Amino acid sequence: MTFARDVSPTFAVGAHTAVVVGLLAAALAVVSVAEGSCPAADEIQSRLGELGLERAARTARFSEPPPVELYRKASRKVGKLEVARDGGKGIGVVVVDLPVEVLWRAINDEDAQDEGGYMPLKRSEIIGGTPRGVSRRVFQAGERMGLGRWWVTRTVMNGELFEASGGALWEVVWGDDMEGLEGPPVDDPPDLSPVKRTRGAWLLVPLAEDCTLVEHFNWSEPGGFVGMMQGLVLGRALRESIEGLVELAGAEYRTAPEGPPFVRPDGSPLVPPAAAEPDE
């Protein structure tokens, strides 16, 4: 899957979201992809209507209703990203021709999100908890043209939602975890200011074996000059984060990294280990 990319200056302000600082950049154009692996639009909308999407964190924790109109628009064209924003809050939705497991790996592998230029991140690393695990503490930073922010979040997979939906809703939720920090809690810290507050979630809905709906909700308050600009640029920020994530997932991407394995939202192995060879 390929998106047309704008290389104008951007930087990230949420756990997985970029804030754009170039006010004069043109809007991004998403290149649509073949739709053969995804259901028809009416089938997608019918499926979404059956899943109780108000149970996701975007509504249950952050009091935002399911973005029904974005679902309707996104279901019409595979690969066409739809975004809505309101002040510091934004939601993006896209249907892509990738398996849910492939996207889930990319979302939950923060140690790799600053590699390859896919995500708009200068630094991304796990500083607590288990990498790719159900709960972890994440440090990330982004900077372009001398402007940027760093942040620390507590990131948790929503195993309860996964189990209650019968495996139909894959969600990871984050919130800022900055209390008591006097500076970036990493070696060789970036000379940047911290984000004031951030929270959000990634939600994946498998629609077919090779078709998934991606929803990204983000609320952030970067503070300072960037904060004053945020209402003008949040839509582009969401686009760059979602597009980068989808491109990372669809690239030649590691499926068996060193260290802890990938897991589903309930903590079970994403790819069950091969059966042991019988003793001869």
- pLDDT, one tens digit per residue, over 227-278 is 444 444 455 667 888 999 999 998 866 666 778 899 999 999 997 554 444 4
CATH number at residue 19: 3.30.530.20
What are 60's two structure tokens? 């249950």
Cα separation, 127 vs 134, in Å, equals 14
Q: Quick one: which of 229, 194, 198, 169 has its CA closest to 16?
A: 198
Least confident of 25-39, 84-98, 145-159: 25-39
Number of structural domains, the chain? Answer: 1
What are 56's two structure tokens? 């996701």
Given this model, what pLDDT does residue 245 score?
Answer: 94
Q: Is residue 280 in some structural domain?
A: no
Q: What is the dihedral of CA 59, 61, 63, 66, to 10 degrees?
A: -10
Q: Is residue 274 in some structural domain?
A: no
Q: Is residue 132 in some structural domain?
A: yes
Show the beta-strand stretches assigned E in the chain: 10-12, 18-20, 82-86, 89-96, 123-129, 135-144, 147-157, 170-176, 193-194, 197-208, 211-221
The average pLDDT across 204-214 equals 97
Q: Is residue 266 in some structural domain?
A: no
Say if residues 130 and 261 touch (Cβ distance below 8 Å). no
Q: Is residue 88 in some structural domain?
A: yes
Note down the domain range covering 90.
Answer: 10-250
The average pLDDT across 88-106 equals 94
Q: How confident is the model at residue 149 (pLDDT cuts 50, 70, 90)?
A: confident
5 pLDDT exceeds 70?
Answer: no
Q: Is residue 277 in some structural domain?
A: no
Average pLDDT over all residues of the chain: 81
Q: Is residue 115 in some structural domain?
A: yes
> 250 by DSSP, 3-state: which?
helix
Rounded percentage of the chain residues whose pLDDT exceeds 90: 55
Given this model, what pLDDT does residue 147 score?
Answer: 66
Q: Is residue 108 in some structural domain?
A: yes
